[in-house]
Amino acid sequence: MTDLLIFGRTGQVALELARLAPDARFLGRDEADLANPAACAASILGARPAAVINAAAYTAVDRAESDQGTARLVNAEAPGAMAKACAELGIPLVHVSTDYVFDGSGAAARAENAPTGPLGVYGQTKLDGERLIAAAGGQWAVMRTSWVFSAHGTNFVRTMRRLGAERGRLTIVADQVGGPTPAADIAAALLAMARAMIADPSKGGTYHFAGAPDVSWADFAREIFTRSGLSPQVVDIPTSAYPTPARRPLNSRLDCSAISRDFGIPRPDWREGLDRVIQELSA
Ligand SMILES: NC(=O)C1=CN([C@@H]2O[C@H](COP(=O)(O)OP(=O)(O)OC[C@H]3O[C@@H](n4cnc5c(N)ncnc54)[C@H](OP(=O)(O)O)[C@@H]3O)[C@@H](O)[C@H]2O)C=CC1
Ligand SMILES: Cc1cn([C@H]2C[C@H](O)[C@@H](COP(=O)(O)OP(=O)(O)O[C@H]3O[C@@H](C)C(=O)[C@@H](O)[C@H]3O)O2)c(=O)[nH]c1=O
Ligand SMILES: [Mg+2]
């Protein structure tokens, strides 16, 4: 899609957006540093695009715990400034958020209006970003997704393929459950949302979008190994046996029916996306 301005160039979702929308204008960190929210707003006002997608974020969940200031600028203040600039131009902003805005209690899939309760700095700053976007008064959509993977960047699939080739035995948390989501499916959904919102200014809001079926990290690892021809032993462990600086939600299940109803975007089967990613990594 031409006339589309996208923040992010090197990330998992940004790279897939570039494949699907090669004519869009992508701003990397060198052109738009999200630690400088005013510069992000100025890029939008200068470019006057038909829509903006923000695919950049501070995604280092554990590092955010000791780097709160930068995480807040990048995940909250910059998206807020983008939303104000988009509101000024009367154009839609499509933004990406996370399952980590929730506290992960219970076992039910959460709808968009379920109470939030982030457990760490990353989730809190992403939630603050959602709130600043909504408060800007323009046309916006926030897609909350989870457990993103692709053939590029830092993600669980690439980490497991590396560790699975190095070690005979891996201990993986089995009490965190969620939907792994291929970055390519996220990119396609974001573009469809942007198009629909340009065509219909009444469209927007918060939407959940995650791969199906829901699975534990341990079972996701098993599936990665089977499909990669690797056979390390995978040992289920509780989260308590895998201490990390940031707490993570146990229940990341997202109810994705609204995006299907309002945008006609179905939940993707992550196993198909996983096969494509493994194929790309093996090529
Ligand atoms: N990864 C995941 O598992 C999940 C991600 N999300 C959300 O999805 C979206 C996309 O994530 P994903 O593609 O995985 O992210 P990645 O971690 O793959 O990439 C992050 C991107 O943000 C850019 N970025 C980080 N800091 C800045 C900065 N200060 N200025 C400019 N650009 C910056 C990075 O650029 P550079 O290469 O220069 O660092 C990179 O392009 C984010 O909003 C994220 O919160 C939601 C759920 C799960
Ligand atoms: C490497 C490894 C991880 N784990 C656990 C830790 C963690 O609970 C889980 C996944 O590890 P990760 O480091 O990929 O997790 P994490 O970076 O927290 O992934 C999150 O990133 C942010 C950006 C999001 O928005 C979330 O949706 C989610 O994808 O696996 C093990 O149990 N054993 C291992 O050997
Ligand atoms: Mg990580």
pLDDT digits (tens, 9 = 90+) for 100-109: 999 999 999 9
Assigned domain for 279 exists? no
Q: Is 207 a catalytic residue?
A: no
Task: Tell me the per-residue pLDDT of 151-189, one tens digit each, with 9 for 90 and over.
Answer: 999 999 999 999 999 999 999 999 999 999 999 999 999
Interatomic CA distance for residues 147 and 157, integer angstroms = 10
Q: What is the largest CA-CA distance in the chain?
A: 56
Q: How far is the CA of 160 from the centre of ligand 1 (A)?
A: 20
Is 27 within a domain?
yes
Residue nearest to atom 9 of ligand 2 (CA): 217
Parent domain of 146: 4-155+179-213+252-269
**Total-model pTM:** 0.98
**Could you read off the pLDDT of 18-54 as tens digits, one per residue?**
999 999 999 999 999 999 999 999 999 999 999 999 9
What is d(CA 161, CA 58) in angstroms, rounded to the nearest whole number?
A: 24
Q: What is the CATH number of the domain that holds 122?
A: 3.40.50.720
- pLDDT on residue 283: 87
Catalytic residue among 58, 100, 122, 207: 122
Q: Looking at the domain assignment, is residue 167 inside a domain? A: no
Q: Is the CB of 96 under 6 A from ligand 1?
A: yes
Please give the tally of structural domains in the chain: 1
Residue 52 CB neighbour total at 10 angstroms? 27
The Cα–Cα gap between 211 and 273 comes to 9
**Is the CB–ligand 2 distance for residue 12 below 6 Å?**
no
User: 230 in a domain, yes or no?
Assistant: no
CA distance 183 to 172: 22
Gap between the Cα atoms of 185 and 271, Å rounded: 12
Identify whether 174 is part of a domain.
no
